[in-house]
């Protein structure tokens, strides 16, 4: 049994910028107040990264490890011995597509851990839109994706990666990857809100990640795969994203794969974002 105390507990300090919002007549929070709250929560999440720089290790080191590993371990087998340079131009756009999956998994485990610490319970007592907490999380994670993609491209240029089109097409490929990665974050946020532990989130996430990553055109051309796997690869959204990014950078038809990627991103967001917000409201 706990002992009663007369000392008054110090209230948890709200993030700077969270003030009583200007509500509509029916009590809804206005767009300007919602944007202000998202900005304050983004700042709070960014300060957390500053205080815990180790949380950036995956965004900083994974692009380096994956690039070196696949270029020098699998590059010769895929493109032939001594043709690693050609494989770099095939691989780097594909790895851009993979960044979103790796970062998105961290979002799910982070949300789950925040609930365990009681941080999310505190946010739900504040006069803010529930979606603003999740959107702020995604904004910061997109920033981590930008860092990871920048490091990936830097490693690629060091190893001989070249842009055959123009810098605008390269930026379009990066933007498409960021957009699709943001949509995937809603899936993993929902997963983080549904599973009981962060370890369970990681376990389920790996069951999703492995088939999507390796059953795609990220690392090798689907023409080398058996027929049943080619069928899976054709419908894999990561293949569409990798092909779109690859053709934007190296030249080639872009419309079909880019439109498919945008369609997947919109569909995933429209379905999972409302479910994630509803789960956030109800989770205890």
Per-residue model confidence as pLDDT tens digits over 174-186: 999 999 999 999 9
Burial 260-280 (b: 16+ CB within 10 A, else e): bbbebbeebbeebbeebbebb
Given this model, what pLDDT does residue 20 score? 47
Binned at pLDDT 50, 70 and 90, residue 81 comes out as: low
In this prediction, residues 112-134 reach a mean pLDDT of: 77
The answer for 49, left when phi > 0, alpha when psi is -120 to 50, beta otherwise, is alpha
- Is the pLDDT assigned to residue 25 strictly greater than 50? no
Given this model, what pLDDT does residue 111 score? 85
Given this model, what pLDDT does residue 80 score? 63
Given this model, what pLDDT does residue 134 score? 87
Neighbours of 67 (CB within 10 A): 23
In this prediction, residues 60-69 reach a mean pLDDT of: 90
**Paired tokens of 54:** 């180790």
Binned at pLDDT 50, 70 and 90, residue 29 comes out as: low
Q: 255-282 vs 130-158: helix axis angle to the nearest 10?
A: 140
**Paired tokens of 134:** 């999740």
Listed by start position, the domains of the chain span 31-282
Arithmetic mean of pLDDT over the chain: 82
Given this model, what pLDDT does residue 198 score? 82
Q: What percentage of the chain exceeds 90 in pLDDT?
A: 31
Q: What is the spatial distance between Cα 40 and Cα 196, in angstroms, rounded to a whole number?
A: 28
3-state SS class at 29: strand
Q: What is the spatial distance between Cα 108 and Cα 194, in angstroms, rounded to a whole number?
A: 10
pLDDT tens digit sequence for 126-153? 777 778 888 888 999 999 999 999 999 9
- Is the pLDDT assigned to residue 46 strictly greater than 60? yes
pLDDT tens digit sequence for 217-272? 888 888 888 888 888 888 899 999 999 999 999 988 999 999 999 999 999 999 99
């Amino acid at each position: 049994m706990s002992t009663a105390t007369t000392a008054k507990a110090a209230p948890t300090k709200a993030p700077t910028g969270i003030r009583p919002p200007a509500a509509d007549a029916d009590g809804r929070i206005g767009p300007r107040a919602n944007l202000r709250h998202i900005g304050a929560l983004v700042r709070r999440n960014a300060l957390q990264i500053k205080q815990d720089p180790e949380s950036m290790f995956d965004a900083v080191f994974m692009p380096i490890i994956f690039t070196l590993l696949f270029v020098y371990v699998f590059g010769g087998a895929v493109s032939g011995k001594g043709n690693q340079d050609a494989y770099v131009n095939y691989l780097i756009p594909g790895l851009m597509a993979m960044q979103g999956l790796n970062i998105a998994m961290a979002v799910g485990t982070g949300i789950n851990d925040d609930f365990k610490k009681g941080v999310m319970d505190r946010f739900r007592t504040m006069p803010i839109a529930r979606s603003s907490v999740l959107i702020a999380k995604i904004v910061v994670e997109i920033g981590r994706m930008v860092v990871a993609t920048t490091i990936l491209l830097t490693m690629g240029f060091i190893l001989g990666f070249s842009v055959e089109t123009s810098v605008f097409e390269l930026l379009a490929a990066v933007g498409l990857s960021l957009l699709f990665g943001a949509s995937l974050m809603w899936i993993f946020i929902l997963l983080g809100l549904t599973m009981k532990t962060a370890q369970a989130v990681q376990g389920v996430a790996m069951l999703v990640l492995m088939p999507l990553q390796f059953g795609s055109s990220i690392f090798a051309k689907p023409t080398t795969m058996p027929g049943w796997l080619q069928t899976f690869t054709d419908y894999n959204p990561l293949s569409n994203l990798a092909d779109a990014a690859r053709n934007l950078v190296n030249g080639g038809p872009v419309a079909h794969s880019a439109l498919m990627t945008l369609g997947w991103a919109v569909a995933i967001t429209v379905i999972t974002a409302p479910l994630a917000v509803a789960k956030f409201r109800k989770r205890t």
